[in-house]
Amino acid sequence: MTIHEKMIFTFYAILGLSYGLKFWDPAEENPLLNTYFSNDDITTAFKDLKNQYPDLVEINSLGISSNERRINEITITSNVSSSQRSDKPHVKYVANMHGNEVRGRGLLLKLAYYLVFKSKDADVKKVLDETVLHLVPTLNPDGFASATESCEGTVGRYTSERKDLNRDFPNPFLELGVEMGSEAKMVEEYAARVPAVLGISFHDGSLVVNYPWDGYPGVPSMEYAASPDDQLFVHLAKTYSLNHKTMTKSKSPCGRSYFEDGITNGNQWYQVFNGMQDWNYYYQDCFELTIELGCCKYPPDARSTFTDVWADNFYSIFALTEQAQNGIKGSVLDHTGSPVLGAVISVSGEGKPVTVRHGAGYYWRPLLPGTYNVTASKPGFWNVTRRNIRVGESGATVVPFILIAKSQRNFKADFVQSPRDSNETSGPLSSAPVLTSCTFVLLISSYYSTFLAMFP
């Protein structure tokens, strides 16, 4: 790498990355991290981390594969036992859904070790204090067990049920009659439990960041298929590629395709229907990217492979993780202070709506800097719109909502809640229920508690 390239890389490593993390390879502490771990080895490693760092680590199972191999996830965050009740955004990283694409397995193991080994460093502690990270090194352990070292081919790609896991999810637009296999069903159930804001799926076979849509009806393969959040996805993709050590050095890294800035729209590259990326975005409100880590799918030299993939992706991983902190966040409660699950958050003129899924009523919505009108709605409740919400370059703007059920019309008393500041709240509140003084005090108390909950 020339001095000029080092300067560019250093600039990109700093750009948009406020954590200030210092590079360190966990294989210096545990050389086995530069080897190919079996599925049992991954389970043992997770248990060791849990035993050493019980306040940071939790192990969860997605289920058992067809060939009776357990698919485990490790959750890492500060005060992990209370993470499901906190307002910290969730980010999930998964790998090895094609069993013969292996770099992501080692990359996520190194990430887990890095986070816990360096958890007392101020910058790493900041990551753990602000974010809940979910790591799944393999979604297809059966495929990996049958795979062989080879840069090409499909041996090990499929599950033991002969399913291509990245063609096995419900399609948002077309009824293609896909009967989901065991692993896809596990991912579906897992996604329902983990309200991830951002998702990253690691693959091999190229070197690029791929973003939705992967496939859209009426748009031919190799043509651009923009999602409702296209500009946001371009920003997220470039956040990863520009912080990567080598991804932008060649426009055709594997000699087969042309990529500008190390990113590609999925459909423009090649069309995929029933993929996990589009499914996560459309159905789960998880802004997911597919990241291809290298041209060779299963390299023979594990040591150099995992040494390089960790160095290449270190700053990218944390730069993208930090993006979960940007945009808006808040909670949606009713007048009693109970969460309104299933409420929909819509941003005027910006992307698709997201649904409140968190058990405590929290939501997160990544957004680019700008000024927005944000509406919370649910059938049976009065809509509420917060106007002129400003989103900055970094950090989330807190936008809590309290929705009033239309059934509360029968309240009668001496106070009517109506919007006084059109820049704050609008909607049918001027014709909404008449509230008793006691109910209004409860409502304000709930609103205040909601606001305080944003800053635990």
| Edge-to-edge strand list for the sheet holding 384-391 | 354-355, 344-347, 370-377, 384-391, 425-426
Nearest CA to 403 among 337, 355, 452?
337
Instruction: Please give the C-alpha separations between residue 91 and each of 175, 187, 277, 409, 420, in angstroms, as whole numbers.
Output: 29, 15, 14, 40, 38
- Are 208 and 292 a contacting pair, CB within 8 Å? yes
Q: Find, among 399, 403, 352, 332, the residue nearest to 371 by Cα.
A: 399
d(CA 403, CA 425): 12
Q: Which of 73, 101, 183, 292 is catalytic?
A: 292
Residues sharing a CB contact under 8 Å with residue 125, sequence separation 6 or more, in sequence order: 78, 119
Strand spans (E) along 204-297: 206-211, 263-265, 287-294
Residue holding tokens 């980010």? 91
Residues 6+ apart with CB under 8 A from 41: 32
Q: Measure the CA dihedral 30/36/40/42, to 10°.
A: 50
Residue 22 carries which DSSP code? Answer: P
SS3 387: strand
Closest CA to 359 of 339, 376, 332: 339
Within a 10 A sphere around the Cβ of 164, how many other Cβ atoms?
19
Cis peptide, bond prior to residue 310, ω within 30 of zero = no
**Whose CA is closest to 360, among 87, 156, 94?**
87
Beta strands per DSSP E along 39-169:
57-64, 70-76, 90-95, 132-136
For residue 231, give the amino acid letter. Q
Q: Does the annotation count 292 as an active-site position? A: yes
Please list the active-site residues.
292
